[in-house]
Structure 1
Amino acid sequence: MTALSDYHRWFAACAERSSTEVEPVPLDELTGWHREPGTGNLVHESGRFFSVGGVAVERPGAAVPGWSQPVINQPETGILGILTSEFDGVAHFLMQAKVEPGNHNGLQLSPTVQATRSNYTGAHRGRPVPYVEYFRDAARHTVIADVRQSEQGAWFYRKRNRNMIVEVREPVPVHDGFRWLTLSQIHELLALDDMVNMDSRAVLSCLPFTGPGVARAAPREPDAFQAALLRSCEIGADGGRHTTAEILNWITESRSTTELLVHRVPLDQVTGWHETDGRISHESGLFFDVMGVRVRARGREVDRWTQPMIAAERTGLIAFLTRRIDGVLHVLVQAKAEAGHNDIIELAPTVQCTPDNYTVLPAEARPAFLDEVLAADPRRIRFDTVLSEEGGRFYRTRNRYLVVETDDNADTDGHAADDHPDFRWVTLRQLTDLLRHSYYLNVEARSLVACLRSLLTGPQ
C-alpha cells in the first residue's frame, strides 16, 4: 500500500504541471456565448454544453410560497466513472488529479472519468477523454454500480449524471495525472479541506458498502460510534427504526402530496434579479450570482475557453445528525423538495442550507435542526471538513460537511425528530440499498454518505 506521503508528493507535482488561470469577466465578454433573442437566456453558439435560463416556482402554503431564479439547464447525461482493480488482494480505485475552473484551490481528486456528453463525444474539439471507453463499453468488464443520479436541485434544472464503478481485471495503463488509491486512503483524504471533489464523493457513495470487506477494514478495537456505524452498514435492510418498505412508502407519499410547481421561464423574466457589473445578482445581495470566467488551463482536454458559472460566495452547511438506536447508528434524513429535481422529492441531509440567506427570509423558513447543528458540542462532531462543490459549473462554491452525534446517543427512545413528518431515522445499509436506484438521495446526501463511511476506515 502506497503511503499518503507519496500521494502528496505526486499531487503537488501534478499541481505544478496543471496550473490554471481563471479570470472573472463580464457576461457580455464571453466568447462563443450570447443572449438568446426573446428570452435573454445565456446559450452557447454550438447549441451544446449548457444554458442559463430561469424558473418560476410555486409552493402553496410554504413559508416562501413562490419565487423565481436563474438556473442551469444541461439536459444531456454525463459520465462520472471510477475504475477499480485488485492489487495484492486489495481493491484500488483509479483517481485523477483534475483542474476545474471553479475549484477553490485549482486541483482536486476526481473520478477516473468526469465528462459531459458534449465532452466525451468531442463537441469541445479537444483531446479525447482518457479511459471513457471502459464506461461506454462497460459490458466487457464487471459493473459494480451504474445508476443515474441528480445534481444540485437548487441550481440545476433536472440535471443528471451516470454514476459508474467498473471493475477491470486486465492491466490498465496509468496516464499522467492518474493514480491508484485504496478506499482507506481516499477516506483519509476526505478529511482534508477541498481535496476530494464532489463527483468523486458522489460516485463513491454508490459503492456497495456491506459484507466481510467492510468488517475487515474497520478498526480492531472500534469505539462505540464506530461499532454502531459498522452495524449500521451490515445490518439487514429491515433492521432499522423503520423498515425499507416504510421508508419507500414515506418517500412516495411525500412525492405524491407535495405541491411544488416549477415552470421554465426566460432569464429576462426572473423577478428580483438584476444584471450589474457584468453579473446577475439577487437584489438582496444573497443567494448566488451568475458570473463569467475566462480560463487558460494546462493538463485539460481543452486549453482555453470562457463560460458562465454560478457563484455562491457564502459557505453553506451540510449536516447529518446521528443517533444510536438499539446499538445501530442511524442518520436523520429529510424528504426535501427542490425545484430542479426530476421527481420533486429526494432524501437530503438533516440540514442543507446557507445560514446567511435566512436573514432575509421569514422566520418560519429557518431549517429544522439548524440551531441544534450550529450549537453542537465540538466533542460530538465526528466529521467536519469544508468541501468544494462541482468546479465545472460552480465558482469557488463550498460547504461545511458535518456529522454530529445527538445528545441522546445512549440507545434511548425519544427525540424531537421522531414526530417530524418530513424526517426519518435510517441506517447506512438502507441508504446504500436506495443508492442502487436513481433519484432517491440528493447529491449533498450522497457526499455525506461517503464522508460518514470514511469514519469507519479512515482516521477519526
Structure 2
Amino acid sequence: MTETSTHSAVPLRTADATIALRIAESALTVDGRTSLTDFRAWFTDCGTRNYTEVDRVPLDRLANWSADPVTGNIGHASGKFFVVEGLEITRPGHWVEHWEQPIINQPEIGILGIVVKEFDGVLHCLMQGKVEPGNCNGVQLSPTVQATRSNYTRVHKGKPVPYLDYFMDTKRHKVIADVLQSEQGSWFFQKRNRNMVVEVTEDVELLEDFCWLTLGQLHQLLREDDLVNMDARTVLSCLPFSGTDLATLLPATDRDAFTTSIMRSCTESEGAVHTTDEILSWITGARTRHDITANRVPLKGIDQWKHTDAGISHVTGRFFNVIGVDVRAGGREVLQWSQPMLEPSGDGLSAFLVKQFGGVLHALVHARVEPGYLDVVELAPTVQCTVDNYMHMPPSDRLPFLDALRTAPAERIRYDTMLSEEGGRFYHARTRYLVVETEEEVDLDDHPDHRWLPLHQLVGLLRHSHYVNVQARSLVACMHSLFGTRTAG
C-alpha cells in the first residue's frame, strides 16, 4: 500500500547568502539618499520640535507613582511600566559576597526595530530623531521604533507609535534580525527587548522626524559623542554582519592593515583562535562555575541605602541614585508625565582590548556575572565599570586590564567616544566606549573568564538570546563603524 500526501507541496527556502555582502556594501557607502550635510540640518530641526524639560522632584511627589506602604516598592498606578524594588544578592567567593540594592523590574518586552530598504541598490536604515528625559543633550538618533509594551499598547493614552505595524506583522516583509536581548544586568532585573530589523520593498511614507541613512553614514555618526542612542546601537549590532569570503569580495582600495583586519574579522571563513563549539562550552562552564543568588526583596530598608528628599542613594555616595523627575515634552506620544529614574554616580567605561591573530582582529571578551541576568553570565567588554567606583582601591585590587585601558597611549586607541545609555530609565548615563589594540600576550590561564573572539563569532552569538550583553553589543556596533567607507556611485 502506497502512502500519499493530502497536502500541497511546500517550496523549500534557503538562507539569503547575499545579506552580509549587502550590509557590508551599505557600510562602505557614506553618500546615500540623504547627505550628511542635509542630515545635520534635519537633525537640528528635530531638536527644535522635540524637547524635554526635566525637573527633579522627591519620589513621594511623583504623579501617578507611589510607594507600597508595606514593601516601599515604587510603582505606577496602572500597574504597568516598571517597579523599583529591592534585590538581595549572594555571591560566595566574590570580593563582595553579599549586598543589597534597588533595581528596576520591567518584565514586559519592548520592541526596538529598524526598517531597512534599498535605494539605488544600497540598503538604508529608517532612523528617528527622538528625545528621552534622561538624555544629556536632547534629541539622539534612535531606531525606527523604540517602544515598551505599555507604550505601544497605549497605557499612557498617548498617540500611536509610528511604523509599529512593520514589526507587529512581518509576513509581507523580510525579517533580517529578530532576537530577544538583555539590558543592563546591574540596573534591570531580567529585562529583555525584542531587537528587530525588517526589510521592506514597498513605498514607505517618510514622517517628519525620520530619515533614511546608510550604514556607512550611521558608522560616521557613531564616532560623535551622544548622537546614536543605545537602542539604535543594540539593534545595529544584531545585523548579520558576517559572511564567507566577505573580505575578498569587497573592493580593496585604501585599506590599511587595521581596516583589513576588521574586514577579515567579519569573514567567517577566516577562522578564529577558538572554535565556536569551544566558546559555547566555555560560556556554559562559566554559567555552571559561578554561583550567584538574586532574590527580590522589599525596597524599604535595604541595607546600606538611605532614603532622603533627593531620592535613594548608597551610604558611600557610589554606584547610583534613584531620583524622581517631572517631564514636559514636545514631539512625544505623551506631553507630560512623572517617573523614577536611575542616576549613575559617574561616567562608565566599556572597553575592548583587541589584537590581531593571523591578521584577523579579535576582541578580548569577559564572561561577566550580573545579578539581573536571566542566565548568570553574558559576554561583556574586557572592562566594564564606573571608573570612580574603583579609584579608591589599590591598583592590585582593581579590575584586570582597567588601568592599562584607561591610560592607553593615543597611538593604540582605535575607537574612543562618549555615548549615552538608555534615556528612558537612566538620567545622564554616559559611557566612554573604547577600543584599544595591543600586541602583548594575555595569559588566559591567569584570566579564565576571558577569551579572544573575532567579530564574526560575536555576530553569530548575537543571533541568539542572552549571550552578548548590551555594553558589548554597543562595542560591536562601534567596531563595525571602523569597517571603512566609500562614496556611492
Tell me the TM-score normalized by structure 1.
0.96
Unaligned runs of 5+ in 2: 1-31
Q: Which amino acid aligns with 1:377?
A: P
1:135 corresponds in structure 2 to 167
CA distance in 2, matches of 1:379, 1:458: 21
Q: For 1:242-391, what aligned pairs fall within 5 Å after superposition?
A: 242-359=274-391, 366-391=398-423
Worse-matched range after superposition: 335-344 or 365-374: 365-374
Bigger CA radius of gyration:
2
Q: Percent identity?
A: 57
CA distance in 1, matches of 2:485, 2:70: 53
2:95 corresponds in structure 1 to 63
1:421 corresponds in structure 2 to 448
Q: Which amino acid aligns with 1:92?
A: H
How far 1:26 moved relative to its partner?
A: 1.1
CA distance in 2, matches of 1:164, 1:281: 36
Worse-matched range after superposition: 414-423 or 161-170: 414-423
1:226 paired with 2:253, answer no
1:236 paired with 2:273, answer no
2:11 corresponds in structure 1 to none
2:138 corresponds in structure 1 to 106
Return closer, same or farther for 1:13/1:306 CA change in 2, 3 Å cut-off.
same
* Cα deviations by residue, 1:263-314 (Å, 9 ceiling, x for unpaired): 1010013110001233100000111000011111110000000000000141
3-state SS, counterpart of residue 331 of structure 2? coil
Contact 2:246 2:266 in 1 (8 A): no
CA distance in 2, matches of 1:306, 1:361: 38
Contact 2:170 2:198 in 1 (8 A): yes
Aligned-residue CA RMSD (Å): 1.6
CA distance in 2, matches of 1:43, 1:14: 32
1:121 corresponds in structure 2 to 153
How far 1:25 moved relative to its partner?
A: 1.1
Return closer, same or farther for 1:87/1:16 CA change in 2, 3 Å cut-off.
same
1:443 corresponds in structure 2 to 470
Contact 1:217 1:457 in 2 (8 A): no
* Cα deviations by residue, 1:323-342 (Å, 9 ceiling, x for unpaired): 00111101000100000000
2:28 corresponds in structure 1 to none
How far 1:360 moved relative to its partner?
A: 5.3
CA distance in 1, matches of 2:318, 2:249: 47
2:483 corresponds in structure 1 to 456
Q: Which amino acid aligns with 1:327?
A: G
Flag as ranges the 4+ runs of structure 1 deviating above 4 A. 212-219, 359-365
Contact 1:219 1:456 in 2 (8 A): no
CA distance in 1, matches of 2:46, 2:418: 22
* Cα deviations by residue, 1:70-94 (Å, 9 ceiling, x for unpaired): 0000000000000000000000000
Contact 1:151 1:443 in 2 (8 A): yes
